[in-house]
Amino acid sequence: MTDELPDGLPELRASDADREQVSEVLRDALAEGRLDMEEFEERLEATYKARTYKELAPITRDLPAPGVTPPPVPTVSMVKGPAAETGSWADRIVGSESCTSQWGVAIMSGFERKGRWTVPRKFNAFAFWGGGVIDLREANFANGEVVVNCVAIMGGMSVIVPPGVEVVVRGIGVMGGFDHREEGVQGDPGAPRVVVTGFAFWGGVGVERKVTKAERLRQKEERRLEKLERKAARQEELEESRRRALEGSGSGDLDHRDSLDEARSIHRAAMDQHRELMREHREARREERRERRDDRRGRDRDRD
């Protein structure tokens, strides 16, 4: 989309292809760090709500068009930057003890460590009648192996790691326990190793492996595009079957039995398409419920 539109064009209705083109520009901008997650979600929502070119144009006005190289910017020397998250694991192992946080404590309350922070060689966490969340998905690491030491007394903690990280659990539980489900998963080459240790009494320490919200949104967009492509392919096959049936019905060379077979084939294709659409609708509803449940749990943790 461009800023300058011919007279009358802004009022023209935008197509699905136009909206997909704008969403692709937004995804590229998110991956390049031009937009943060909140801006990306706001603009993506506005894209799918847009009905005319006039509504679409402002969404990407301050972003470079696909295939256009933006003007060079001054080089800035930084110890770490946004590129570290999307770079190799070596970029995220900073080898420094100047960490964002060394410990977390929750006494009849809660704590949370998430976002862009640096995990020390050993992070100590304590919860008594409370809970904590230690989210390593966007974190950097002070060393190739870090230890997360959790002590939970009548409380609970959740350690969230990104895909590709090796996890080792060595905690001891008394009338409580440590989650070992993520153990044994082979890590990526050069990825850090996270050792979860500590003690749980009448409490528990859970270990989850999740992608970031940005990655989850990207995967959701990919699945949506794949569904649209499958739907278009099925529609094209159905139209082709109908066309052949109509051509055959006007020809004396096609006997009555062949016409019936072709009609049954069209009917089966239409029913298959209907069932597939219903299945996709159910999957979308389940995914929306999962996202609402995760958001509700996050809000509950924040209140606690």
pLDDT of 201: 93
Given a contact cutoff of 8 angstroms between Cβ atoms, the answer to whether 119 and 136 are in contact is: yes
Looking at residue 118, its amino acid is T
What's the pLDDT tens digit per position in 197-210?
A: 999 999 899 999 98
pLDDT of 83: 35
Given a contact cutoff of 8 angstroms between Cβ atoms, the answer to whether 176 and 152 are in contact is: yes
Task: Provide mean pLDDT across the span 168-193.
Answer: 89
Q: Length of the chain in residues, anyone? A: 304
Give me the residue label for tokens 């989210």. 135
What is the average pLDDT score of the chain? 77
Question: Cα separation of 222 and 23, whole Å?
Answer: 11
pLDDT of 269: 66
Q: Place 2 in a pLDDT band, splitting at 50, 70 and 90.
A: very low
Question: Cα separation of 36 and 67, whole Å?
Answer: 21
Task: Provide mean pLDDT across the span 247-271.
Answer: 58
Question: Cα separation of 102 and 99, whole Å?
Answer: 7
pLDDT of 3: 45
Task: Provide mean pLDDT across the span 16-29.
Answer: 82
Q: Give the residue from 274, 197, 194, 285 showing the smallest Cα distance to 238.
A: 274
Q: Would the pTM of this model clear 0.75, i.e. be above it?
A: no
Q: 134-154: buried (b, 16+ CB within 10 Å) or exposed (e) per residue?
A: bbbbbbbbbbeebbbbbbbbe
How many CB atoms within 10 Å of residue 236? 10
Can you list the positions of beta strands (E) in 175-263?
177-178, 193-201, 204-209
How many CB atoms within 10 Å of residue 133? 22
Question: Cα separation of 245 and 265, whole Å?
Answer: 10
What's the pLDDT tens digit per position in 124-168?
A: 999 999 899 999 998 999 888 999 999 999 989 999 999 989 999
What's the pLDDT tens digit per position in 32-86?
A: 778 887 788 888 888 888 888 888 888 888 887 655 555 444 433 333 333 334 4
Task: Provide mean pLDDT across the span 229-248.
Answer: 72
Whether pLDDT at 246 is above 70? no
